Amino acid sequence: MSKKELVNMVAEKMPELKKKDIKAVIDAVFEAISDALANGERVQLIGFGTFEVRKAEERTGVNPRTREKIKIPARKVPKFKPGKELKEKVNK
């Protein structure tokens, strides 16, 4: 699903709002979550899930073209853990 499709789905559920206003709210939510993660915060949306930043350790990988071993540096990666209600809804 693209952001445009998400805006359209929300617009169907809330016809009293304009699509441009819905898009602005969705953009603001994504930006707030991104900013919180960038600051090392955890974002917990009860019933939906939790966004957090985890550290991926340095590891050795292989370049598929040359088969040469390469070192992949340690980095921070965003992770999402679905909540109980979301898991139940997906597994119906």
* Ramachandran quadrant class, 10 (left: phi over 0; alpha: psi -120 to 50; beta: rest): alpha
For the entire predicted model, the pTM comes to: 0.80
Averaged pLDDT, groups of 10, the chain, 92 residues long: 96 96 97 96 96 96 94 96 94 88
Domains of the chain: 3-84 (4.10.520.10)
What's residue 28's pLDDT? 98
Rounded Cα distance between 24 and 66, Å, is 46
What's residue 92's pLDDT? 84
Give yes or no for a contact between 79 and 53, defined as CB atoms under 8 angstroms apart: yes
- Which residues neighbour 42 within 8 Å (Cβ) at sequence distance 6 or greater? 36, 50, 51, 52
Which of 80, 74, 79, 37 minimizes the C-alpha distance to 56? 74
